[in-house]
Structures are given as C-alpha cells and as structure tokens.
Amino acid sequence: AHLAAHEGAPHYAARCDNLDEILNGAKNHAYYDVALSSHHLFVLGDLNFRTRFAVHRNETTTTQRKSSSTTKTVQPDDNGTNDDDKEPPSSVDRALALVEQQDYKKLYYQHDELIAGIAKGELLVDFDTLPCNFPPTFKVLREKGFHYKPQRTPSYTDRILYRSANKQYLKPLAYEPCPDFATSDHKPLRGAYAITPNAVLTRQFRQTEPPGSYRIAFSQMACRNLPALDVTGTSDPYIMLTWEFVDVLATDREHKNLLMRWTSSGDRKWPKTQFLSRTLNPTFTGEELELSING
C-alpha cells in the first residue's frame, strides 16, 4: 500500500481512511473485512506514518507559517511537497538527536504515529509488527547509508504489519532495512516469516482431535459502554452470530426447539437475540444462542 503523505493530524486521518477503504474494499463477506476472513494477512509498503513530537507553545506550526508567508512559486520535492510545508525545525532536530544517540526505542515507542494509533484502536486493530530497532527509513539522501534531508522529520514510513487468526502459526524471523539501496528517498524494508500451512494443520487435527460433535452455547450475555448510535444518545443493541466457510447447526430464540443448518452460502437469517431498547449497557437475561459443529 502507498498511503497519503505529509505530516500533521489531517494527513494522519487520511492514512487511517486509506486503510479502512483498502480493507473494506477487499472484503468477501457482508460483515467482515479481509482482516477477519483470512488466516493470515500482511499490510506493507510506504504507509507514510510519521514521527510526531508534541508542539510547544513557543513553536510555530506549519499552518501558522503558511498563513503568514508571502505567495511564491516553489519547486516540489520528491514527495510532491515544497519548502513551505516543512515541519518545525525543532521536530527535525529532536528526531536527528535520537538517531545520533541510536535511541530508536524512544523514537519508535514514544513518537511513532502508527504505534500510537494501533494502541488507541484507531487503525489496524490486532495487527502486530516487530519494533524498528534501526534508523528511520525516510527521508534520506539517494546514497548508501542513512543521511537525512532537512525538509522532513526522520520517520518510519516503510512498514510491514501482520495479523494471524492463530499467532502460533505465524512466526516473524527478520525485520530490517536495506541501507545500501540508493535510488529513492526511502530505504526499503524486508521481513522474513515462518507460516504453518493449512495442510499441515489439517493432518495434525485429524491425528489429535477425537471424532464427534461440538456444542457451543452462549448465555448470560452482556455488553458495556457501547457507542451511541441514536440521536437520543443511546442505542437499541442486540447480539447476532455470523460466520463463514464452516457449516454449523444453530438454534436461536425464535426456533428454540428446532435444530437448523446454517451454511456459508444461501439465504438465511443469522441467529440473534432480541434487541433491547435505549441502552448502552445491555444484559440479555434469559437469552441463549447455540451452535453445534459436526466432527
């Protein structure tokens, strides 16, 4: 992926929107994006997330400098921006100081937009990535090594992230930049991962799992602090079970005495509870949803 460029909160929001559009655009199910319907999923490329420092009161922001500058014609740089779009020099200086000290841990964990966004649940929820224990990959001179252009705060714009349905079957082995790459203002990143194929897992399960059926019952269900979706500041929530690719038997409150087969294709109603009116903290007293999987 190549996400929206530039520094600042609006451009960070644009990158989050880019990822949402990509994941939802690739979904193969009405309810799930591609991250939820895959055994393993990788997101990688020039994701353009930047190093961001808190702005002190005595610093001039990019927007303020733009409004006070005179109109002039400038030559855009390689990222389609110009000198008037430069970040406050103090941000560049702070990042360069951390790079000089090789304090990549602080640069990564305290000032990286991507890591902060994942921690807040703003993007790529449940995705993992190895830490960047190396110099930032952007914005560098087109020569070997890490020599940074002064127009931009050094940032970890180039990333590899992954999400696995079962983390024990995907193991990261390596994660590193290519410092000798000299034809771009980015240093490319490379990673190596070990993945257990489904064919191997199928043989293992057949050898270890006993034959038979499995019953899963959901009861005493409750939710807390749901988002308000009505104009009154409340919601009318219910719980609905959906799935794909696995044939199961299901019963719900409307057919308590009838065992029904629900498959991954065809018209059907998903088993669900009754809805509760005007609440953000519902408790579904007396409700039970049941699934049975044939072994």
> What is the predicted pLDDT for the residue at 209?
54
Q: Which comes out higher in pLDDT, residue 249 or 163?
A: 163
Query: In sequence order, what DSSP letters do the residues of 230-277 get, joined into one string?
Result: STTS------B----SS-EEEE-GGGTT--EEE-SSSS----BPPP-S
User: What is the arrangement of strands in the sheet containing 213-222, beginning at the earlier edge strand?
Assistant: 213-222, 283-294, 248-251, 260-262
pLDDT digits (tens, 9 = 90+) for 43-74: 999 999 999 998 654 444 433 333 332 233 33
Q: Which comes out higher in pLDDT, residue 276 or 294?
A: 276
Sequence-distant contacts of 186-193: CB under 8 A, at least 24 apart = 186/46, 186/137, 186/138, 186/139, 186/140, 186/157, 186/158, 187/137, 187/138, 187/140, 187/146, 187/158, 188/137, 188/158, 189/44, 189/137, 189/158, 189/159, 189/160, 191/44, 191/130, 191/160, 193/162
Lowest-confidence pick of 105-109, 117-121, 206-210: 206-210
> What is the predicted pLDDT for the residue at 61?
40
> What is the predicted pLDDT for the residue at 89?
53
What would the mean pLDDT of 76-82 be, rounded to a whole number? Answer: 49
